[in-house]
Amino acid sequence: MTTITADTLPDPQQTRRGRRTALLLFAVGFGPMILATVMYFTGWLNPTGHTNEGSLVQPLVPVQALHLQTADGQPFADRFAAGVDDPQWQMLVAAETCAAECEELLYLARQVNVALGKNAPRVSRSAWLGSVPAPLEERLQQEYPAIEQLQVAPGERAGWPADFSPGRQPGLFLVDPFGNVMMHYGPDHTGKQILKDLKHLLKLSQVG
């Protein structure tokens, strides 16, 4: 049995110093990225204004609110949990019915990923597709093998951003390595626009 004495108790000053050190390390590591991202997408302190091509999701939606899971039942949000090694950015395509516009977004996600070149491994692709027409279902794995198909967890309802309805129009979302659904693109966006935003984000980001 271990006896706890005054000598073995943590020194309050040491505890406070440890907390300050941890906060300082967080600020040094993540502070510049967070500040730069806010400035880029809001135009704050930027006389030329923001130049993002997609729509900023306001407020940011935590990926947990989507209640998505993988085919084997693992929560999609676990990919962004604290302590996960090498978290990635995600391009997430969502559609109630994956018709022509939805497939175009799947195609754009694939092409953007390829166009990232050396940064391609920093970005993963996934999709929630409520229903898939038989012709697409037959070639989905062949043409889009790197896209992980997700499903809504049983008994749950996906909490998509307030201005998005997957039944009305398909969309492509960017999810940052912290698990924030932050950018939205529709069928009217081009791959060049998505690539432009993603390149900026990867340049700013020290994580993922």
pLDDT tens figures, 40-66: 454 444 444 557 899 999 899 999 999
Architecture of the domain made up of 54-204: 3-Layer(aba) Sandwich (3.40)
Q: What is the DSSP string of 104-173?
A: HHHHHHHHHHHHTGGGGGGEEEEEEEEE--HHHHHHHHHH-TTEEEEEEPTT------TT--TTTS-EEE
Q: What is the pTM of this model?
A: 0.76
Q: Which residues make up the CATH 3.40.30.10 domain(s) of the chain?
A: 54-204
Q: CA–CA separation, 142 vs 168, rounded Å?
A: 27
Residue 189 per-residue DSSP state: S
Q: What is the pLDDT of residues 89-145, one digit of tens each?
A: 999 999 999 999 999 999 999 999 999 999 999 999 999 999 999 989 888 889 999
How far out from the chain centre does Cα 11 lie? 40
In this structure, how many other beta carbons lie within 10 angstroms of the beta carbon of residue 8? 8
